[in-house]
Amino acid sequence: MPTPAPAPGSAVRRRPVQRRSLERFGRILDACAELLDEVGYTGLTTKEVARRAAVPIGTLYQFFPGIEGLLGALAERNLEHYADRLAQRLLADPPGHTGDLVDLAVEEYVAMHRSVPGFGVVDFGAIGMEDTGSMHLIDADRDNNTVAADRLWSVIGDALLATRDPAAADPAGNPRLALRVALECADAVLRLAFRTDPEGDPALIDECRRLLRRYLA
């Protein structure tokens, strides 16, 4: 069965379809995530990722063009897992207020940061790599946070519109743009929280919630 070409701008050279290839693809990303926690992105090499994943280096390059491709694919996987977790929580317990939605989004991010290998280094686009020109790890045409905001809108957009306070809303406002701005704010504050404390500084996490509740309401 032929493997489909990646979407334009994708970090992946080709995406696997067959079961064996899917397993290898996932194993490579798992190895990359583990190594990021151990050596950081500056110490990451494709050779060591392939060795840890127990695949030939040629197999790695069949899927990924290099380190940035690996990081981009891992960031994309993290984003999809985050979106899936949010969607499941929304189905199980629909939020009644914007504050509930904010709490849910922040809670899931913090939980992934604490428990998912490599998430603290990459999350949705390689923390601290902006100075290396890696703002487009997931998509060549859109920066990492734009990709993340678009994906989150597809999951929580309807809930955000439904829970906003009509009396507080600006009639000329753009809720989708508001979510994009909120993501930038949350990105900065939560990164600060995890720089301050490896488990996430509770006071800063609470401040992030307060900021987002007030802005998005």
Q: Residue 170 pLDDT > 60, yes or no? A: no
Give residue 9's pLDDT band: very low, low, confident or very high (50, 70, 90): very low
% residues pLDDT > 70 (the chain): 88
The one-letter amino acid at 66 = G
* pLDDT score for 134: 74
Q: Residue 180 pLDDT > 90, yes or no? A: yes
Tracing tokens 């996430």 back to the chain, one arrives at: 200
Query: What token pair was written down for 164?
Result: 């906003």
Give residue 57's pLDDT band: very low, low, confident or very high (50, 70, 90): very high
Mean pLDDT, the chain, rounded, equals 88
Q: What is the CATH number of domain 74-216?
A: 1.10.357.10
Sign of the Cα pseudo-torsion (57, 63, 136, 103, in order): negative
Contact criterion met (CB below 8 Å) for 179 and 157: yes
The closest alpha carbon to 12, from 173, 140, 193, belongs to 140
Q: What are the start-end ranges of the H helices in the chain?
A: 19-39, 46-53, 57-63, 67-92, 98-115, 119-122, 144-163, 175-196, 202-216
% residues pLDDT > 90 (the chain): 70
134 or 31, higher pLDDT: 31
- Give the Cα separation of 35 and 154 in Å (integer): 31
207 or 161, higher pLDDT: 207
163 or 114, higher pLDDT: 114
Contact criterion met (CB below 8 Å) for 14 and 63: yes
* pLDDT score for 7: 40
- Average pLDDT, stretch 139-151? 91
Query: What token pair was written down for 198?
Result: 């490896």
* pLDDT score for 74: 95
Helices (H) and strands (E) in the chain, counts: 9, 0
Q: Residue 71 pLDDT > 50, yes or no? A: yes
Of the candidate ranges 37-46, 51-60, 161-170, 173-182, the one whose mean pLDDT is the lowest: 161-170
22 or 4, higher pLDDT: 22
